[in-house]
């Protein structure tokens, strides 16, 4: 499991700076015709420490096990960025 960033991300670098594993990157991704310009969390590097979630000013970071059902697609969006 890992943390996941959703589309309410404001593109600041607070979460990336807080991540001790350097698992968070900013970029653009087009997936199924939808453009995402935000920060993404690499699920293979995330150690679930929670450092990113605690500093996010927009509550845009969730543990993938706690993602609301309507936001579950962002688990795949984050993983796709690093594929």
Extents of the domains making up the chain: 3-81
Q: What is the pLDDT of residue 32?
A: 94
Q: What is the pLDDT of residue 56?
A: 98
Query: Could you tell me the pLDDT band of residue 34, with boundaries at 50, 70 and 90?
Result: very high
Q: What is the pLDDT of residue 39?
A: 98
Contact 6, 58 (CB under 8 A): no
Report the 10 Å Cβ neighbour count for 35.
8
Model confidence, pTM: 0.94
Residue range 3-81 in CATH 3.40.50.2020:
no
CA-based nearest residue to 63, from 41, 83, 44, 82? 41
Condensed to tens digits (0 to 9), the pLDDT of residues 11-30 reads 999 999 999 999 999 999 99
Q: Where are the beta strands (DSSP E) in 1-83?
A: 3-5, 24-31, 34-41, 61-63
């Amino acid at each position: 499991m890992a943390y996941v960033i959703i589309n309410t991300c404001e593109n600041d670098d607070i979460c990336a700076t807080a991540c001790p594993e350097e698992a968070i990157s900013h970029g653009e991704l087009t997936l199924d015709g939808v453009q995402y310009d935000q920060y993404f969390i690499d699920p293979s590097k995330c150690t679930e420490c929670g450092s990113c979630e605690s500093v996010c000013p927009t509550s845009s970071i969730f543990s993938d096990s706690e993602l609301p059902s309507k936001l579950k697609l962002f688990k795949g969006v984050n993983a796709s960025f690093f594929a």
